[in-house]
Amino acid sequence: MDSQRLILFFVFSFAVFLLLDGWQRDQAARAPAAAEKGDKADKAIPGATIPTPTPGEKLATTQAAVPKEVAVPREQGKTIRVETDLVVAHLSTQGGDLRRLELKQHRDTVDKNKPFVLFDAAEHSYAAQAGLTGGKLPYHRTAFQAAADSYQLIEGQDVLEVRLGAPETDGVAVTKVYRFRRGSYLIDVGFEIMNKGSGPIQPYAYFQLVRDGKPPAGDSAMLPTFTGFAVYTEKEKFHKITFEEVEKNKAAYPKNSDDGWIAIIQHYFLSAWLPKNGSREFYVRQLDGGLFAAGVIVPVGAVAPGATGTAMVPLYAGPEEPRKLEAIAPGLDLTVDYGWLTVIAVPLFWLLEWLHKWVGNWGVAIIILTVIIKLLFYPLSAASYKSMAKMRVVAPKMQRIKDQYGNDRQRMQQAMMELYKTEQINPLGGCLPILIQIPVFIALYWVLLASVELRHAPFLLWIDDLTRAAIGPNTDMDLASVPYFVLPLLMAATMIIQTRLNPEPPDPVQAKVMKIMPLMFGVFFFWFPSGLVLYWLVNNILSIAQQWHITRTLERAAAAQTRKR
């Protein structure tokens, strides 16, 4: 197999890998179509799980603390608005749920004039719930009361606490507590349980996230990302769970542990319950109305008469920023999906982040990173381009061999191998260096695709979002979108130049394919985020400069040698 065939093989393999990997992610993240829902009030939260446990239940009773669902009428309750420097939260007195969460420093995927909304019980069916079991205790359908309708973190205040009181039942008074902190996406959620009765109680607390199975708005069919559950324990490490696996009762994950967390992850953002050390039981389940729940059950412990018990679990709901997630909880940074080449992708992201701190522009940082990678692989690239340049120099001799032997492919191959030996050309020399570099290219591809830091990050001129694709589900094909085609068209042009620098394949079919491929890739890259296209464009420009220099040097040397003869 000659070098042109190998190059063709590797290019096609890389394209097929990207398409197959995207298809697999799309299938894993896509849940079967949900059943039609009723009005928004009834569809929003799983209304379902009404706890009916006994005081003697144990944690290992496979979700006995949050048992079967029954149809119960539900009221909306009153909305309590909470605002901090980072979020605007809406709590409902009906169940004390966190039903809406706006992230003030992140813009909406479709409309940048609006803040990004992570939780939304009205439209997207995504909320956080918590309740108690172990008697007639309040749960996520109990009517709570609050002292005010709105709360705001004021200047000089670091912690904002919201307290919701439940009706006293059988001598037990319960307060549901939310604590918001300045500069943090962590929210402490928990209960204070005052036992005014004559006997001890032994409640359990459950904390769950409820979501529909739809991908987030703006998720591209060409570049699908994972949306689903994640469970982590120190012993069994990181587990992803798709909605489809839950629906088919095929979800495999650690159920009981003394550490770990459970989360729902999507492109760029996640929400996760992060219990402190102690026994816990994780669960995922399908609910009515096309909804799914992921939760954790923790023991409150025995509460003696006259005593008060507490159960508090932090909730993280915000962007997937690796360094911050790593500091919050072990393994939480694994929710940032860098694909199967994480070991290469993580150092690349650290370097990209460091460059951004110096230059202040993610687009410029991508360009500098591309140059650094190109310099690191310069010897390999040089070997590849020298091999292709030599092939270009001997192209006339190869054509004569082809004309001489016609359809006798065996004799033609033998003659070509003799030519390679005489001219000291390695037919594989132009391909193996490319093969070695492919893992780095793929790793960088996933770094640029998965990094929330690049979301809505501008570069220059018309490129105001390095994660926005030229053509996507929310991009109209009108004059306003035309500038977004510039990068992929430039990239296609550089590929055409590269093709002309390479020796033309003797096989006419290969020659035609090599000429068509730049146009195919140019169209293919219309769906890629601008940051990725920028990387490929810069890489191609540097490759053209290096290849042109090497080819010109060898051609001059060959011409000088010919003149001496």
**Do residues 438 and 523 share a domain?**
yes
pLDDT of res. 269: 95
Residue with more model confidence, 394 or 505: 394
Q: What are phi and psi of 428, to 5 degrees?
A: -90, -5
Higher pLDDT, 3 or 87: 87
Instruction: Answer yes or no: do 487 and 558 share one domain.
Output: yes
Query: What is the average pLDDT score of the chain?
Result: 78
Instruction: For 439-475, write each residue's pLDDT tens digit.
Output: 887 888 888 888 898 888 888 777 777 877 655 444 4
Q: Residue 319: what pLDDT? A: 95
Residue 255 lies in a domain: yes
User: Does residue 476 have a pLDDT over 80?
Assistant: no
Q: For residues 537-559, b (16+ Cβ closer than 10 Å) or e, as one string?
A: bbbbbbbbebbeebbeebeeebe
Q: Per the domain annotation, does 476 fall within a domain?
A: yes
Whether 22 maps to a domain, the answer reads: no
Local structure of residue 360 (DSSP, 8 states): S
SS3 358: helix
The confidence score (pLDDT) of residue 126 equals: 93
The answer to whether position 5 is within a domain reads: no
Give domain status of residue 468, yes or no: yes
DSSP bridge pairs for 178: 162, 189
Whether the CB-CB separation of 358 and 367 falls below 8 Å is answered with no
Domain count for the chain, please give it. 2
CATH number, domain at 233? Answer: 2.70.98.90
Q: What is the pLDDT of residue 425?
A: 65
Residues 256 and 357 in one domain: no
- 34, pLDDT greater than 50: no
pTM recorded for the entire structure: 0.78
Residue 214 placed within a domain: yes
Least confidently predicted of 26-40, 139-153, 517-531, 542-556: 26-40
pLDDT for the residue 6: 41
Q: Residue 72 falls within a domain, yes or no?
A: no
pLDDT of residue 31: 36
Instruction: Return the higher-pLDDT residue of 488 and 240.
Output: 240
In the predicted model, is pLDDT for residue 48 greater than 90?
A: no
Report residue 221's pLDDT band, with 50, 70 and 90 as the boundaries. Answer: low
Which of residues 337, 358, 383 is at a domain's end? 337
Same domain, 207 and 315: yes
Token digits for 33?
């179509």
- Rg of the chain over CA atoms, in angstroms? 30
Give the tens place of pLDDT for each residue, 295-327: 999 999 899 999 999 999 999 999 999 989 999
Rounded to whole angstroms, the Cα distance separating 141 from 131 reads 9
Q: What is the pLDDT of residue 10?
A: 47
350 and 329 inside one domain: no
Higher pLDDT, 400 or 439: 439
Q: Residue by residue, what is the 3-state secondary structure of 474-538?
A: CCCCCHHHHHHHHHHHHHHHHHHHHHHHCCCCCCHHHHHHHHHHHHHHHHHHHHCEHHHHHHHHH
Express each pLDDT in 96-132 by its tens digit.
999 999 999 998 887 888 999 999 977 778 999 999 9
Q: What is the pLDDT of residue 375?
A: 85
Q: CA geometry: angle at 255 spanning 251 and 260, to 5°? A: 110
Same domain, 208 and 137: yes
Same domain (yes/no): 172, 256: yes
Does residue 277 sit in the same domain as residue 357?
Answer: no
| pLDDT band at residue 519 under the 50/70/90 scheme | confident
Between 135-139, 142-146, 380-384, the lowest mean confidence (pLDDT) is in 380-384
Whether residue 331 sits in one domain with residue 424:
no
Confidence of residue 57 (pLDDT cuts 50, 70, 90): very low
pLDDT of residue 113: 85
β 79-83/150-152 pair status: parallel
Domain assignment of residue 18, yes or no: no
Q: What pLDDT is recorded for position 489?
A: 81
Mean pLDDT of 207-217: 89
Same domain? 141 vs 262: yes
* pLDDT higher than 50, residue 188: yes
The answer to whether residues 231 and 320 belong to one domain is: yes
Last residue within a domain, chosen from 294, 311, 337 = 337
| Portion of the chain with pLDDT greater than 70, in percent | 71
Q: Which domain does 331 fall in, by range?
A: 45-57+78-337
What pLDDT does residue 62 have? 38
**Which domain-ending residue is among 337, 363, 398?**
337
Pick from 47-56, 80-89, 143-152, 351-360: least confident: 47-56
On the question of pLDDT at 50 being above 80, the answer is no
Question: Percent of the chain scored above 90 by pLDDT?
Answer: 37
User: What pLDDT band is residue 145 in, cutting at 50, 70 and 90?
Assistant: very high
Note whether 549 and 514 are same-domain residues: yes
